[in-house]
Amino acid sequence: MTQYARVKGFTLIELVVVIIVLGILAVVALPKFIDLRTDADVAVLKGMQASIKSARDLVAAQIELRPENLNNAQSRFTLENGQNIRVRGYYPDGRWNNTFSRIVDFDSVTYITSNNCTENNSDTVWCARNRGLGWFTSRGLTTATVGRGFVIFPRGNNLNNDQCYLYYFTPNDNNVTQKGVLPIVGLDLSECGG
């Protein structure tokens, strides 16, 4: 006497209901996960901003304490570790490649000479690019008539098109022989993650 065990499974209607519920959950949850990436980028930029402000202020303090480490033109300063950086008005110059890359330790930033931060020109998730006065004035970031700076922005972004970056701008001329104007360390987060 053999009895067939009755095998139970899901009906087609039950499966459709489960798929619909999972779809609704995905639509509701996905933006929250996308926002986590945006939140992470914003947090990293804010952390970099604080580090750059500290480095700016520490270099200015070192120059005040050791003016003999300035060259005759007062455009270069020798740090305690022997590295030479550019300065403008007793503050670090606005160049990433020969100033800030020497005074902050950002392993996740690659210096580039392009407006696009891509996998082809950066093996890190952040890029830094030097910019002249015109770049900053055209965006309303300064009304200075002299100066220069750099911008740090995430990989996948175009520096001229995407507003998700940290910027450092020194409004001092390169031949200032006294304490100049405090450089700006700002953020534009209006298009981060968007």
Judge whether 3 lies within some domain: no
Q: Count the domains in the chain.
A: 1
List, as own/partner pairs, every contact residues 37-46 make where C-beta atoms lie below 8 angstroms and the sequence separation is at least 24, other chains included.
37/193, 38/192, 38/193, 38/194, 41/154, 41/164, 41/192, 41/193, 42/189, 42/192, 42/193, 44/108, 44/126, 45/152, 45/164, 45/165, 45/166, 45/187, 45/189, 45/192, 46/187
Structural domain that includes position 164: 12-188
Task: Look over the chain and give the mean of its residue pLDDT values, rounded to a whole number.
Answer: 88
pLDDT at 34: 59
Judge whether 116 lies within some domain: yes
The dihedral region occupied by 59, where left means phi > 0, alpha psi between -120 and 50, and beta the remainder, is alpha
Judge whether 1 lies within some domain: no
- Tokens matching residue 192: 């981060």
Question: What percent of the chain has pLDDT above 90?
Answer: 64
Judge whether 5 lies within some domain: no
pLDDT digits (tens, 9 = 90+) for 136-174: 999 999 999 999 999 999 999 999 999 999 999 999 988
Residue 194 above 60 pLDDT? no
Judge whether 143 lies within some domain: yes
pLDDT at 16: 84
pTM metric for this prediction? 0.81
42 band by pLDDT with thresholds 50, 70 and 90: confident
CA gyration radius for the chain?
A: 26
pLDDT at 37: 66
pLDDT at 149: 97
Q: Which 3 state secondary structure label does DSSP give 172?
A: coil
Judge whether 2 lies within some domain: no
Instruction: Give the pLDDT mean for 47-70.
Output: 95
pLDDT at 47: 94
pLDDT at 17: 84
Judge whether 90 lies within some domain: yes
Q: Which 3 state secondary structure label does DSSP give 149?
A: strand
